[in-house]
Chains A and B, each alone.
Chain A
Amino acid sequence: MSMPANALQGDRVPEEQKGVRLIRYVDALREAFEQEMTRDPHVFLFGLDVDDHKGIQGSTLGLQEKFGKDRVFCTPLSEDAMTGVAIGAAMAGYRPIHVHIRMDFMLLCMNQLVNMGAKAHYMYNGQVKVPLVVRTMIGRSWGQGGQHSQALHALFMHIPGLKVVAPSNANDAKGCMIAAIRDNNPVIFVEHRLLYAVDGYVPYESYEVPFGKARVLQEGDDVTIVAVSHMVMEALRAQKHLESVGIQAEVIDPVSLWPLDMDTIMDSARKTGRLLVVDNAWLTCGASSEILTRALEICQDSEEPLPALARMGFAFTTCPTTKPLENVFYPNSRSIAAQAYEMVKGKGKLWEPPVDAKTEIDAFKGPF
């Protein structure tokens, strides 16, 4: 299924989109849990703070009241063991959703996820399945620093047996969550702090957004920008900047990072001749490395010309806390637009795009 970008980003409801309404990303997630937990009694949701009055930014509010304490519960601060607990329950046929309020904390889960969760189905020759969803939030807002803002999706993409999705809008958040819950494999579900409050048109009904299918959010002929997670917002703003100087960028959201839809990306890159990958993460051994390498392999195999390639992501440093350094740590719509401009106009052609109107980062208020 493919939806026009404006429907996803909340500009206007197209005629054919009946039965949708504008809701926030975080409410779309909540609705997915509610619908799936109603449909399947094997689904349960647990993790630190899921049943407190903040409810993981609101995404789990009311679920315990509706489904009871057996199916929605908080845990001790024991991520490593709780991941094993989730894997065990999944092997027994349940469908746990394990929640982490920061992706950084998933580093405590690595042993269980990588050594057990990802491998059980294969190692035991199909005798067990691990239908587990691990929800995790990239914590960037401001001042979150080195240990509360990391984006580690590449670590999980590296592991056979895990699937990794990172929806960037409310529609995909709901549809991907439903697909993740129904999937018979461990799915790492990557959310972003700055996306939660963003509205989008979301159907009332239950639906799946299939993994391995990228979305073209904006069509254009001059340059392809593939952006991940929150960088999709920046890329869409960059697209507007570029449009103001007559450059038409095509913006693609892979939605699922593994499986990865290279067909959509390559169709676009063939058309534009330029492929810019903007990851919401470090570059080294990251999603951008994977996408660009595969583009190269595909072109080599089919003996077609290679598009111009470039990538952007976090500075290769620990994320600093102070705002002026944070500002240079992250790519933004202006740096993306400037990079795309140079790809289109030629090396050394520099351009400073205008300052954006208030973005979701400017709108952020502390403390968390």
Chain B
Amino acid sequence: MLSQELVAHLYKKMLLIRRFELRLAEVYPTDAVKSPIHLSVGQESIAVGVCDPLAEDDIISNTYRCHATYIAKGGNLQEMMAELYGKQTGCAGGKAGSMHLVDMSHGILGASAVVGTTIPVATGYALAMQMAAKTTGRQRVVVSVFGDGGTEEGCFYEAINFAALRKLPIIYVCENNRLAIHTPLEKRWAKDNLCERVATYGIQTYKIDDADVFKIRETMTKAVEYLRHGGEGPIFLECATYRWLEHVGPRDDHSDNYRSLDEYLDWKEKDQIVRLAAMLDDNTVQRIQDEVTAEIQAAEAFAAQSPYPTAEELYTHVYAS
């Protein structure tokens, strides 16, 4: 049985991501956030299910669609909001913006806006973690998250082949929302058999097709434990999901007619946030909602009050000292 505590915990994380992003969408037309935003609204259960079993010193790597994993991995919310506002107090001093969130102190490897680029980099991080474990005795685990489109870049195959060869402690997670911007999977893949393809490299694969947060979390818990205690990686997890809003920006773009409304409605039925709320008593739900609202308001106030970087900061960190 699932404990009420666990349900409340996962509910809160998913709700925080959803509300944070919907608030961003609300603020966006004011131009307070002058940077493209790629929202994960509808996809929160993957970030939460994937990150919950990770230790603070495990690593998450992601693409430009990185708000959800940043929050789920425990990234600092105030610094995140400040980063989106372009402020000096942001997680990257305003230099990163939405597409490159980073928080190394919480194991959040900087995100990249060039599709596929993070997959080999995360693989390299895993190589180093494998080497380091030989002296520290503790195997840290790396998780590389990317979309279905990411698997079309050559570097994906090159990276997973190497990871399989070296049995690296990495979990590859494909968030398969079946869209690359507006282009459906059917126009990009001859066959929809990603897990089978990946398995031929000698990689364990798992597929979760309903975005069930408990299933994702359980699969990840087993995978992390396995790698932590000497199991041979890599592991591949494909999670089906659905992007509720436009590819980039704050809008619901179903009226643009490039995707099916029925599919959207089906996925809304499966919404894990609604599902988990129904598993909790009203008081708990209310308490969590209030906490989430307060955290977001605090983050917004922090961002609004923070200064912009000064012109001299343009030249900091060009080279490492």
Question: Which residue from A79, A108, A143, A328 sits with its C-beta under 8 Å from B311?
Answer: A328
Bound complex: CA A107 to CA B248 (Å): 22
Of the listed stretches B2-10, B149-157, B196-204, B205-213, name the one at the interface; the rest are far from the partner chain.
Answer: B149-157
Q: Let me know if B74 is at the binding interface, CB within 8 A.
A: no
Q: Let me know if A262 is at the binding interface, CB within 8 A.
A: no
Task: Tally chain B residues at the interface, Cβ within 8 Å.
Answer: 48
Q: Is the CB of A368 within 8 A of B149?
A: no
**Closest Cβ–Cβ distance, residue B70 to chain A (whole Å):** 15
Q: Which residues of chain A have C-beta atoms less than 8 A from B114's C-beta? A: 104-105, 107-108, 147
Q: Let me know if B265 is at the binding interface, CB within 8 A.
A: no
Bound complex: CA A321 to CA B101 (Å): 11
Residues 323-341 of chain A: 1 if any B CB is under 8 Å from the residue's CB, otherwise 0?
A: 1110011000000000000
Q: Is the CB of A48 within 8 A of B183?
A: yes
Q: Is the CB of B36 within 8 A of A143?
A: yes
Q: Which residues of chain B have C-beta atoms less than 8 A from A368's C-beta? A: 36, 248-249
Question: Which residue from A53, A76, A78, A147 sits with its C-beta under 8 Å from B112?
Answer: A147
Given contacts A53-B256, A320-B314, A325-B309, contact A76 B95 (CB under 8 A): no
Q: Is the CB of B258 within 8 A of A53?
A: yes
Bound complex: CA A366 to CA B256 (Å): 18
Q: Let me know if B240 is at the binding interface, CB within 8 A.
A: no
Given contacts A77-B150, A81-B154, A320-B95, contact A142 B314 (CB under 8 A): no
Residues 172-198 of chain B: 1 if any A CB is under 8 Å from the residue's CB, otherwise 0?
A: 000000001111000111000000000
Q: Is the CB of A367 within 8 A of B183?
A: no
Of the listed stretches B11-19, B27-35, B127-135, B284-292, name the one at the interface; the rest are far from the partner chain.
Answer: B27-35
Q: Let me know if A17 is at the binding interface, CB within 8 A.
A: no
**Closest Cβ–Cβ distance, residue A237 to chain B (whole Å):** 22
Q: Let me know if B1 is at the binding interface, CB within 8 A.
A: no
Q: Let me know if A52 is at the binding interface, CB within 8 A.
A: yes
Given contacts A325-B95, A328-B314, contact A148 B113 (CB under 8 A): yes
* Chain B residues numbered 98-129 whose CB sits less than 8 Å from any CB in chain A: 98-100, 112-116
Q: Let me know if A316 is at the binding interface, CB within 8 A.
A: yes
Bound complex: CA A77 to CA B315 (Å): 34
**Closest Cβ–Cβ distance, residue A110 to chain B (whole Å):** 13
Q: Is the CB of B182 within 8 A of A49?
A: yes
Q: Which residues of chain A have C-beta atoms less than 8 A from B246's C-beta? A: 367
Given contacts A48-B183, A148-B99, A366-B249, contact A322 B36 (CB under 8 A): no
Q: Which residues of chain A have C-beta atoms less than 8 A from B35's C-beta? A: 142-145, 321, 366
Q: Let me know if A80 is at the binding interface, CB within 8 A.
A: yes
Q: Is the CB of B94 within 8 A of A322?
A: yes
Q: Which residues of chain A have C-beta atoms less than 8 A from B95's C-beta? A: 145-146, 318, 320-322, 325
Q: Let me know if B313 is at the binding interface, CB within 8 A.
A: yes
A328 nearest CB neighbor, chain B only: B311
Q: Is the CB of A143 within 8 A of B315?
A: no
Q: Is the CB of B94 within 8 A of A145?
A: no
Residues 293-327 of chain A: 1 if any B CB is under 8 Å from the residue's CB, otherwise 0?
A: 00000000000000000000001111011111100
Bound complex: CA A53 to CA B179 (Å): 14
Given contacts A78-B153, A148-B113, contact A317 B180 (CB under 8 A): no
Question: Which residue from B96, B249, B308 sits with its C-beta under 8 Å from A367?
Answer: B249
Bound complex: CA A320 to CA B98 (Å): 12
Q: Let me know if A54 is at the binding interface, CB within 8 A.
A: yes
**Closest Cβ–Cβ distance, residue B94 to chain A (whole Å):** 3
Q: Let me know if B283 is at the binding interface, CB within 8 A.
A: no
Q: Is the CB of A323 within 8 A of B86?
A: yes
B95 nearest CB neighbor, chain A only: A320
**Closest Cβ–Cβ distance, residue B238 to chain A (whole Å):** 17
Q: Let me know if B234 is at the binding interface, CB within 8 A.
A: no
Q: Let me know if B220 is at the binding interface, CB within 8 A.
A: no
Q: Which residues of chain B have C-beta atoms less than 8 A from A49's C-beta? A: 181-183
B153 nearest CB neighbor, chain A only: A77
A49 nearest CB neighbor, chain B only: B181
Given contacts A53-B182, A77-B188, A322-B95, contact A367 B36 (CB under 8 A): yes
Q: Let me know if B53 is at the binding interface, CB within 8 A.
A: no
Q: Let me know if A74 is at the binding interface, CB within 8 A.
A: yes
* Chain A residues numbered 138-171 whose CB sits less than 8 Å from any CB in chain B: 142-148
Residues 93-128 of chain A: 1 if any B CB is under 8 Å from the residue's CB, otherwise 0?
A: 000000000001101100000000000000000000
Q: Is the CB of A52 within 8 A of B314?
A: no
Question: Which residue from B28, B86, B96, B318 sits with its C-beta under 8 Å from A324?
Answer: B86
**Closest Cβ–Cβ distance, residue A129 to chain B (whole Å):** 26
* Chain B residues numbered 26-85 whose CB sits less than 8 Å from any CB in chain A: 28, 31, 33-37
Q: Is the CB of B113 within 8 A of A147?
A: yes
**Closest Cβ–Cβ distance, residue A248 to chain B (whole Å):** 31
Question: Which residue from A54, A74, A105 sits with its C-beta under 8 Å from B187?
Answer: A74
Bound complex: CA A328 to CA B95 (Å): 13
Q: Is the CB of A145 within 8 A of B34?
A: no
Q: Is the CB of A322 within 8 A of B150?
A: no
Q: Is the CB of B100 within 8 A of A321?
A: yes
Kindly list 4 other residue pairs between chains A and B, CB separation below 8 angstroms, not including A49-B182, A325-B94, A367-B248. A324-B311, A325-B311, A366-B249, A367-B249
Binding site for A on B (CB under 8 A): 28, 31, 33-37, 86-87, 90, 94-100, 112-116, 149-150, 152-154, 180-183, 187-189, 246, 248-250, 256-258, 308-309, 311, 313-315, 318
9 A-B pairs within 8 Å (CB atoms) are namely A52-B182, A77-B180, A104-B114, A143-B86, A321-B98, A322-B86, A322-B97, A367-B246, A368-B249
